[in-house]
Amino acid sequence: MVRYGVFDHLDHAAGSLSDLYEMRLALIERYDAAGFHAYHLAEHHGTNLGAAPSPGLFLAAAAQRSTRLRLGAMVFCIPLYHPVRLLEEICMLDQMSNGRLELGIGRGISPIEGDFFGVDPDDAPAIYREGFDLILAGLKGGDLSFSGERYRVADMPMVLEPKQRPHPPLWVGLGTPDSAVWPAQNDINIISNVGAGRMQSITDRYRQEWQGKDPEAAPLMGLTRHIVVAEDRDEAWDIARRAYKPWRAGFMRLWDRAGIPLPNFSLPLDFDDFASEGKAIVGTPREVATGVQAQIAESGINYFLCRFAFGDVTLDEATRSLDLFKTHVMD
């Protein structure tokens, strides 16, 4: 069975920030009512790609505007936090959402953003691993003691605890088959932005490492896609082409300024090229339903994530896409 979720950069392309936050919270209410599994929020800094550089703040608000929708950062960039501070925030969010937190963890994709915090990209992987170990230790409960190369905690009373035991579901982002081994062996859900064919090699490897376990209990393997649906095909494409420009500009802002190419992938200037790579599915309800099912079948995923709001997509446009997607794809 395939579940459906939502991925959001919460990028800022037009209007005031307060209006942007309210627009996204209004969409949270609609995702909740439509029966999406979870809402996953990216973390970025120093760029309008991410207007929620503190994802926990937005997720706390989202928890009050929803009742069933699961909520999480994708990902919390662990090297940019003191892990004890993030550990306590995770416990708060899981309790405030009544056990609906999804815990995405990673080191952060952008060395430029890490540099704003004084994090050397060569040190980031080790900081991430040690910080993650500390967080997992703290989520177990009881007094926290931890001794690592960077972090040391002695007998800290863990007065906060997560509602979900032993901890909220874990998520990582990845892009290669080899990177699927550790998540599969440790019951960790995955999300990727790669093409459907490449994703199949990832899900195949994941299932290979998962062999011998109950397939019904397998973690989620997700693929994200930009989605625009309208009754009129030309209107859907006009919206997607228009909104892609500011979304891409935000995505590339820091990389272009620094003159650094994107790591391991490219982002076409033209939306039609982006869509031809399978990274977006646009058109009438029938066309989008066909495109989504084709990518699910080719990629081997069990979780499909939509980006309904990106660039300067309006609340009305995103809501219409969402409603048509719910009726013609999910139902």
Q: How many CB atoms lie within 10 A of CB 198?
A: 14
Mean pLDDT along residues 172-182: 96
Residue 264 confidence (pLDDT): 78
Q: Residues 248-295: pLDDT tens digits?
A: 999 999 999 999 888 877 899 999 999 999 999 999 999 999 999 999
The amino acid that residue 259 corresponds to is G
How far is it, in rounded angstroms, from Cα 251 to Cα 12? 11
Helical axes 83-96 vs 124-139, angle rounded to 10°: 50
Q: How confident is the model at residue 195 (pLDDT cuts 50, 70, 90)?
A: very high
pLDDT mean over 57-80: 98
pLDDT at 318: 98
Between β-strands 70-77 and 38-41, what pairing exists: parallel, antiparallel or unpaired? parallel
Q: Tell me how far the alpha carbon of residue 52 is from its chain's centroid.
A: 13
Of the chain, the end-to-end C-alpha distance in Å amounts to: 13
- Whether the pLDDT of residue 120 is over 90: the answer is yes
Please state, in angstroms and rounded to a whole number, the distance separating the CA atoms of residues 141 and 118: 31
Look at residue 256 in the predicted model and tell me its pLDDT. Answer: 94
- Per-residue confidence band for 217, with pLDDT thresholds at 50, 70 and 90: confident
Among 50, 45, 57, residue whose Cα is nearest residue 11? 50
pLDDT over 90 at 212, yes or no: no
Look at residue 214 in the predicted model and tell me its pLDDT.
78
Is the pLDDT score of 216 beyond 80?
no
The predicted-structure confidence for 10-52, as pLDDT tens digits, reads as follows 999 989 999 999 999 999 999 999 999 999 999 999 999 999 9
- The residue type at 168: P
Domains of the chain: 3-330 (3.20.20.30)
Which of 310, 55, 93 has its CA nearest to residue 193?
310
The pLDDT of residue 32: 98
Distance CA 105, CA 75 (A): 5
For residue range 132-162, what is the model confidence (pLDDT) as tens digits? Answer: 999 999 999 999 999 999 999 999 999 999 9
What percent of the chain stands above pLDDT 70? 100
What's the confidence (pLDDT) of residue 263? 83
pTM as predicted: 0.97
**C-beta of residue 106 within 8 angstroms of C-beta of residue 125:** no
Q: In whole numbers, what is the pLDDT of the chain averaged over residues?
A: 96
Q: Which range among 191-195, 201-205, 238-242, 258-262 shows the weakest confidence by mean pLDDT?
A: 258-262
pLDDT tier at 239 (50, 70, 90 boundaries)? very high
Which residues are registered as beta bridge partners of 191? 173, 222
